[in-house]
Amino acid sequence: MSGYTAGSAFTETPQTMATPFDPSQSVAFDLNRGQIAVKGSGERLLVPADALLSLCLSVGSEELSDFGRRLGTEAGRRVAERLGEIEAATVETIVDHLGGDLALLGLGSLELERWGKALVFVIEDSPFGAQGDPVLAAVLSGALQRAFGRNAGVIRIDRDDQRARFLVTSPGGAERVRAWLSEGTTWGDALTRLDRTRGDS
Amino acid sequence: MNVRDRISRLELLLQKIQSHTRARRNPRPTAATPAEVNARTAEPSFVTAPAPVLELVPQPVSEEPPPLDGFEDEAPTSAVELVDVAPIEALSEEDVFEMDSDVLESVPPSGGVTSSPMAPPVLPELLEDPASLEADLQAELEPPASSKRHRISGLVEDSMAFPESESLGFAEPDSLGLDEGREIPVKTPPPESGPQEAPAQQMAFTSPAPVDVEQLLGDLPPVEEALYQTGPSPEQLGQTIELEDAIGPTLELDAAIASQSPAPIQEELEVTLPLGEYAGKYDESLVLPPEARDELAEHRRKSYDALSTTAASEVPLSAAPTSDVQVESPEAEAERPQEVRVRRSPISGTSPVAVSAPSSIVPARTTFLELLDDSLRLGS
């Protein structure tokens, strides 16, 4: 992963943006061997999304979460390897690189929102649709776990035809928000109530 | 022949005329049998006997002068019809004078027709007064000096004022020199008698006064105005004139149509002045006046203080989208979380795959890990 190691300038000036994500030559198609590979990772498969989703829905939640976390762990590892000292990486750098890797996986486009102190990932145009949102939540959780070493609880708080919002918070906070949403609280009010709990803790 | 004989002849003639008139006015059966027809023809009728006295009967309206323009002809009188009944050629003078007064007594005058306009019944008192009867006969024998034409001219003369008659082209009879004593033929001359003198009533019309052509032309409106006022002539009505299509480029027509629509009138005549060379620009080479330096420094200081105060207070940048509209207090609204959106930078130089990525990136001043830790502390 030459060129994506953490440099001195990046560490000294975290405000400045690191090397942008460069997907050039990231995906290698070996047509002679009939193999597809992503740089820095193992072999990949180009499979229909609906077929994979059907497979995911046929398994239990634990297996589905493990499948997604494996995908996210692989993406987090690549981001961490490219960025080097990922602790000093800015928000835009993380979004750029992590979103690049998710895009290579074909899972959609990544954005990040911050509501108060809460981080909200937004994935747009996911091929899995609303039924594949648990997979995406597991992917994000695994990426954060692998890249930053944080055990984060990721839950979907909003969904429309194209966009899905995932709140990144503590596992306990995720459970609270899930309970509030099940009670009918809007996701905005849930974030507000979650933001008020920071003083209580 | 004395007067009484003449009277008797005239009475006889009158009786004949009455009988003729009665015969003409009484309707005859349209479908008579041949026997009836023979009986009628064989029966000697005194009424149908020829009356040679017809030569003495004046024919006042036998042949009227040609009608004049502007005057209406009157209906022919019944006397004309009576003249046509008797066959004049069959009459002889002997037949007339052989009749005596006995015949007159055998035919009562009241034969059913007592109100004939042309033949009033002969009253006994008139017979007793030969002088008056002579006067009446003379009046009847006089030529038709009082024809309808003369009466009409006389009516015009009486009813119209003199100045008006002058303006209409009529002149006073005296001034026109009408000769009332002109000799007028008593009887209507036959057509082969040649041209006759025109009656006197034609002289009632005079040639109009000479027209002042220049004055009339001056009173006329201009030619174009007259055309608009009078409109098309009767000869032009109903005639459609096919106009040829315009020859030339269509642009001329469009331009003409566009020129017809008037430009909107601006109430306020505002004119945008042309921008100068330094319009909207700031020339840095300009030097502030000495008295403005202190004011500018004070303004900047106040602006900085106000900005610092605003930044210190926690004001939400945007509210979370909610489905329910809620009104919150300023304190609660201040506690709402702020939204910071970060997008990935554009990805370029991808040869193997097509990549689309958002282009706007919100710069962040803190590391992602710090934000992640803050978010993980929520609800823990």
pLDDT digits (tens, 9 = 90+) for A10-23: 333 344 456 888 88
Q: Which of A128, A4, A12, A178 minimizes the C-alpha distance to A78?
A: A4
Mean pLDDT of B93-121: 49
ipTM of the complex: 0.82
Report DSSP letters for B338-367, one per residue.
PEEEEEPPPP---SSS-----------SSB
Residues in B touching A170 (Cβ below 8 Å): 376-380
Q: Which residue shows structure tokens 């502007």? A: B70
Q: How far is CA A137 from CA A31, A123, A154, B66, B77, in A?
A: 33, 10, 6, 127, 130
Name the pLDDT band for B319 (thresholds 50, 70, 90): very low
pLDDT of residue A123: 95
CB distance B379 to A173 below 8 Å: yes
CB contact under 8 A, B338 and A115: yes
The percent of residues above 90 in pLDDT, for chain B, comes to: 2
**Which of A16, A22, A30, A95 to mutate against chain B (most B CBs within 10 Å)?**
A95
Answer yes or no: is pLDDT of B312 > 90.
Answer: no
Q: Is the pLDDT of residue B67 over 60?
A: no
Per-residue tokens: A168: 């990144």
Question: Number of A:B CB contacts under 8 A?
Answer: 187
pLDDT tens, position by position, B117-176: 444 455 555 555 667 666 766 666 665 555 444 444 444 444 444 444 444 444 444 444
C-alpha torsion A198→A190→A87→A78, nearest 10: 160
Q: Distance from B283 to chain A by nearest Cα, in Å?
A: 33
Which tokens in the block code for residue B22?
A: 């009665």
| Dist CA A172 CA A152 (whole Å) | 9
The C-alpha atoms of residue B79 and residue B84 are separated, in whole angstroms, by: 9
Q: Which of A174-188, B24-38, B95-109, B360-374 has the highest mean pLDDT?
A: A174-188
Q: Which of B313, B308, B373 is nearest to A114 (CA)?
A: B373
pLDDT of residue A187: 92
DSSP A130: G
A117 and B375: CB-CB below 8 Å?
yes
**Out of B347, B349, B369, closest to residue A148 by CB:** B369
**A15, A22, A170 member nearest B376 (Cβ):** A170
Residue whose token pair is 């002109």: B182
Which tens digit of pLDDT belongs to each residue from A117-174? 899 999 999 999 999 999 999 999 999 999 999 999 999 999 998 999 999 999 999 9
Least Cα distance to A199 among B229, B123, B335, B5 occurs for: B335
What does the CA dihedral B346, B348, B353, B355 come to, rounded to 10 degrees? 20
A198 against B22, higher pLDDT = B22
Q: Do B372 and A196 touch (CB under 8 A)?
A: no
Give A24's contacts in chain B (Cβ within 8 Å): 349-352
Cα separation, B39 vs B299, in Å, equals 148
* b (16+ CB within 10 A) / e for A128-151: beeebbbbbbbbbbbbbbbbbebe
Distance CA A55, CA B369 (A): 34
pLDDT at B42 over 50: no
Supply the pLDDT for residue B331. Answer: 57
Task: Note the pLDDT of residue B75.
Answer: 44
Residue B309 to chain A, least CA–CA distance (Å): 20
pLDDT beyond 60 at B240:
yes
Spell out which residues of chain B touch residue A91, defining contact as CB-CB under 8 Å: 340, 342, 364, 366-368, 371
Partners of A168 in the β-ladder: A119, A154
Q: Which residue has the higher pLDDT, B58 or B303?
A: B303
Q: How far is the alpha carbon of A120 from chain B, nearest alpha carbon, in Å?
A: 9
Round the average pLDDT of chain A to a whole number and report it: 86
Summarize the confidence of residues B102-127 as an average pLDDT. 49
- Subunit contact B344:A94, Cβ cutoff 8 A: no
Give the highest mean pLDDT range of A186-200, B28-42, B277-291.
A186-200
Among partner residues B323, B355, B378, which is closest to A118 by beta-carbon distance? B378
Testing the interface with A: which of B336, B342, B343, B374 to mutate, by most A Cβ within 10 A? B342
Q: Which residue has the higher pLDDT, A41 or B204?
A: A41
B372/A114 Cβ within 8 A: no
From B144, B288, B131, B352, select the one nearest A39 (Cα to Cα): B352
pLDDT above 60 for A114:
yes
pLDDT grade for B13, boundaries at 50, 70 and 90: very high
Compute the nearest-CA separation of A50 from chain B (Å).
21
Chain A residues near residue B376 by CB distance under 8 angstroms: 150, 152, 168-170, 173
CB within 8 Å: B345 and A17:
yes
Element (H, E) at A28: strand A27-30
DSSP SS3 for A74: helix
**Taking a C-beta distance cutoff of 8 angstroms, is the pair A117, B377 a contact?**
yes
From B337, B356, B371, residue closest to A192, measured CB to CB: B337
**What is the percentage of chain B residues whose pLDDT exceeds 70?**
21
Q: For A94, which residue in chain B has the nearest alpha carbon?
A: B368
Task: Give the distance from residue A165's alpha carbon to the nearest chain B alpha carbon, in angstroms.
Answer: 12
Residue ranges in chain B assigned as alpha helix (H): 3-25, 34-42, 78-85, 93-98, 101-106, 124-128, 130-141, 148-159, 162-167, 173-176, 213-219, 223-230, 250-260, 290-312, 330-334, 368-376
Is the pLDDT at B1 greater than 50? The verdict is: yes
Among A57-61, A147-151, B125-129, B209-213, the minimum mean pLDDT is found in B125-129
Residue A13: predicted pLDDT = 37
The CA-atom distances, in angstroms, between A133 and each of A172, B141, B324 are: 20, 141, 25
Residues on chain A touching B347 (C-beta within 8 angstroms): 20-23, 100, 103
What distance in Å separates residue B306's CA from the closest CA in chain A?
A: 24
**Contact (CB, 8 A) for B380 and A168:** no
The answer to whether the CB atoms of B361 and A96 lie below 8 A apart is yes
Would you give the end-to-end CA distance of chain A in angstroms?
A: 41
User: Which of B355, B357, B364 lies nearest to residue A91, judging by beta carbons?
Assistant: B364
Lowest mean pLDDT among A40-49, B4-13, B113-122: B113-122
Highest mean pLDDT pick, A148-157, B59-68, B73-82:
A148-157
> Is B302 or A7 the better-scoring residue by pLDDT?
B302
d(CA A82, CA B194): 146
Distance from CA of B312 to the nearest CA of A (A): 15
The whole-number average pLDDT for the span B265-285 is 66
Q: Tens digit of pLDDT for each residue in A75-105?
A: 999 999 988 888 888 888 999 999 999 999 9
> Could you tell me which residue, B194 or A180, shows the higher pLDDT?
A180
Pairwise CB contact (< 8 Å): A92 & B322: no
pLDDT of B324 over the 90 cut: no
Contacts of residue B320 in chain A, CB cutoff 8 Å? 115, 186-189, 191-192
Three-class SS string for B270-325?
Answer: CCCCCCCCCCCCCCCCCCCCHHHHHHHHHHHHHHHHHHHHHHHCCCCCCCCCCCCC
Q: How many residues does chain B have?
A: 380
Which token pair is B282? Answer: 């700031």
d(CA A38, CA A29): 9
Calpha distance A89→A140 (Å, rounded): 17
CB contact under 8 A, B355 and A103: yes
CB contact under 8 A, B377 and A198: yes
CA-closest candidate to residue A188, choices A180, A199, A179:
A180
